[in-house]
A and B are shown apart, each in its own frame.
Chain A
Amino acid sequence: MTSPLQPPAPAASPVGSDPARFSITTRDLCLWYTKFQALRNVTVNIRHGLITSLIGPSGCGKTTLLRCFNRVNERYGYVTTRGEIRILDKNIYDPDVSLIELRKKVGMVFQRPNPLPISVYENVVFGIRLHRDSDSLRRSQLDEEVEKALTEVGLWNDLKDRLDAKATTLQLEQQQKLCIARLLPLKPDIILMDEPCSALDVEGTQAIEELMFSLKGRYTIVIVTHNMAQARRASDECIFMLMGELMEHTRTEELFLTPRHPKTADYIEGRYG
């Protein structure tokens, strides 16, 4: 058996020649939390406009990888990163990259819904207010953006009469949809989701998955999940990670039907993880 640290090279990533087809590519990405190496030479190409899922046992680095894509890891002083990350074919570590613009283009949804403790309306327009002068904002414009974003995530009918309600008082499923909605006015290209359904019940999970399908095509979605069934249902491509390494990345049905790496096979059959 080959060492688990040496994934078969051709399986590492579906290789394409045209960079425009990939929204996210990394080359030899390594990341350390102080001394602990959480990512080992990760090279990946994530396709534009598709849903890609990241699976693997706890501590395999999938969330860490996700958080690299908008450089939010760096807010913590003890993180060291090496390697290249290209988002929309631009190296995000280039000196002429504005972190603010990067985070507008690459939105993130968290495991625990984290709406801000302000009204539903203010949550949706929060990003707009951050990035535009307050005097250039007209109420009618904001109203329009709120209706558009909430309609897109399917909350408008439920919440249109409760826009002043505090967002933290909504049901969890609504909170999570709101967290997605508040990204949309910033016109992101990529939405990163870190186990977005793990705090939700079955119906909430289904609602979020349906929402992901409806957003597909317009946005590139990368979702971290613990739930293999979810990865299978909801993603076009699937990446399996183990101990900070990318083991396998192919079309989802292929990964689940004919895994190339024995560790992948063991994991998806539930022998560990």
Chain B
Amino acid sequence: MSEPCSAIPSENPFALTPLERRKKAAARRNQWIMFGFCALLIIPLVLILVDIFWKAAPVLSLDFLWQNPVNKGKEGGLWAPLVGTFYLVVGSLLFVAPVGIFAAIYLNEYAREGWVNRVIGITVTSLAGVPSIVHALFGLGAFVLGMLPAINRLLADPARPETRWEAGLLTASLTVAVMNLPVIITSTREALGAVPQSFREACWNLGATRWQTIRTIVLPNSLSGILTGIILVVSRAAGETAPILFTGATFFKFVADSGTAKLFPYGIGEPFMAMSMHLNIISNQISQMPERMKFGSAAVLITLILAINSLAIALRVWLRGRKRW
């Protein structure tokens, strides 16, 4: 107000000042540092993958997948552990998907806000952080030592020990299911929470019950997120060794080389082979194991998990592209 407007300068009024030059240099330097750390993350990953697949190349073939392991896994293929992992995943999903999804729907859509709900939420989040070996011990105590004797008292013939159920697909599936339950609950709650509240209000204001709202609007619009959560859980179930270590996975189990017995090799009360367990044993328990068998198994397990995760990403992208609000 007091000073008059200064005259228009003759030289460039927007020239870089020394301070700005230093700020610019710092900005560029920091960008390169961040890039360096990012490279630190990516480069070893790529090198490991290349190394594994390079060393696995001699054995990789469809026969490697289709044949059973021979001679403690030193020869042959991966069929028995591969099919075991498949049944483990399917079995655990049968338990975890309904329990997890319905629990999440209750927590998100029905339960009133309050301390009970918050305590449950915190508990679920904490459970997700429990190490898998702890879940394994829980599974051992609850299912192998607790549930199996009860089943055997009811179903097994005491005179014929072969009718007794052992730690196997059922107990391992339940253990993996318990491990994945908090993950499913959390991802499902997130998916449900992403459905705009205004849709629910629109339904309520037309006189819809909670269940009608969930069935007609909330579930159809959160299905993509729920499915993605399930698929990610599948890859975790396929990759973890710890939870199945004491609860049903075994090092070797004879599997028929042909016929339907090859497709359905394990009973639910029988020990089974699994990829993660197999890889663990042949990498450090058996002497003179050929390198190519170890790396071949690792390559197959990695490919399996990458494929499952890519499927989850593809599904998410596809379903996100379809919805518009």
Contact = CB atoms under 8 A, between A and B. Distances in A.
B257 interface: no
A43 to B, nearest CB: 25
Given A114-B199, A114-B202, A131 B207 contact: yes
Contact of B324 (A72, A102, A103, A169): A169
Interface stretch (A17-25, A105-113, A214-222, A258-266): A105-113
Counting contact residues on chain B (CB < 8 A from A), the size range is: 20 to 34
Contacts, number: 68
B113 to A, nearest CB: 5
A139 interface: no
B114 interface: yes
A57 interface: no
Interface string A59-102: 00000000000101001111000000000000000000001111
B201 interface: yes
A125 to B, nearest CB: 11
Nearest to A77: B112
B209 interface: yes
A127 B207 contact: yes
A127 B325 contact: no
Contacts of A130: 203, 206-208, 212, 216
B217 interface: yes
A127 B196 CA distance: 19
A101 B209 CA distance: 11
Nearest to A169: B324
Interface stretch (A45-53, A142-150, A178-186, A244-252): A178-186
Counting contact residues on chain A (CB < 8 A from B), the size range is: 20 to 34
A117 B324 contact: yes
A40 interface: no
B323 interface: yes
B92 interface: no
Given A112-B198, A116-B202, A179-B202, A168 B207 contact: no
Interface string B197-230: 0110111111111001000110001000000000
Contact of A117 (B199, B205, B206, B209): B199
A104 interface: yes
A126 interface: yes
A232 interface: no
A100 B324 contact: no
A182 B207 CA distance: 12
Contacts of A129: 216
A186 B206 contact: yes
A101 B323 CA distance: 32
Contact of B205 (A78, A107, A131): A107
A100 B113 contact: no
A166 interface: yes
B207 A117 contact: no
A168 B324 contact: yes
B113 A78 contact: yes
Nearest to B117: A77
Contacts of B198: 110, 112, 114
A179 B208 CA distance: 15
Contacts of A75: 201, 204
Nearest to B202: A114
A110 B196 CA distance: 14
A117 B202 CA distance: 11
Contacts of A186: 206-207
A117 B221 CA distance: 8
A183 B207 CA distance: 10
Contacts of A103: 204-207
Contacts of B204: 72, 75, 103
Contact of A127 (B114, B206, B209, B323): B206
Contacts of A110: 198, 201-202
Nearest to A34: B113
Nearest to B203: A116
B205 A168 contact: no
Contacts of A99: 207
Nearest to B210: A75
A104 B203 CA distance: 11
A117 B201 contact: no
A42 to B, nearest CB: 21
21 contacts: A72-B205, A75-B204, A100-B209, A103-B204, A103-B207, A107-B206, A110-B198, A110-B201, A110-B202, A114-B196, A115-B202, A116-B217, A117-B323, A126-B216, A127-B206, A129-B216, A130-B203, A130-B207, A130-B208, A131-B207, A183-B206
Given A116-B203, A117-B325, A130-B206, 15 more contacts: A72-B205, A77-B112, A78-B113, A103-B204, A103-B206, A108-B201, A117-B217, A117-B221, A130-B203, A130-B208, A130-B216, A166-B324, A168-B324, A182-B206, A186-B206
> Which 10 interchain pairs have the tightest Cβ spacing?
A77-B112, A114-B198, A103-B207, A108-B205, A100-B207, A127-B206, A168-B325, A104-B207, A114-B202, A130-B208
Interface of B: 112-114, 196, 198-199, 201-209, 212, 216-217, 221, 323-325
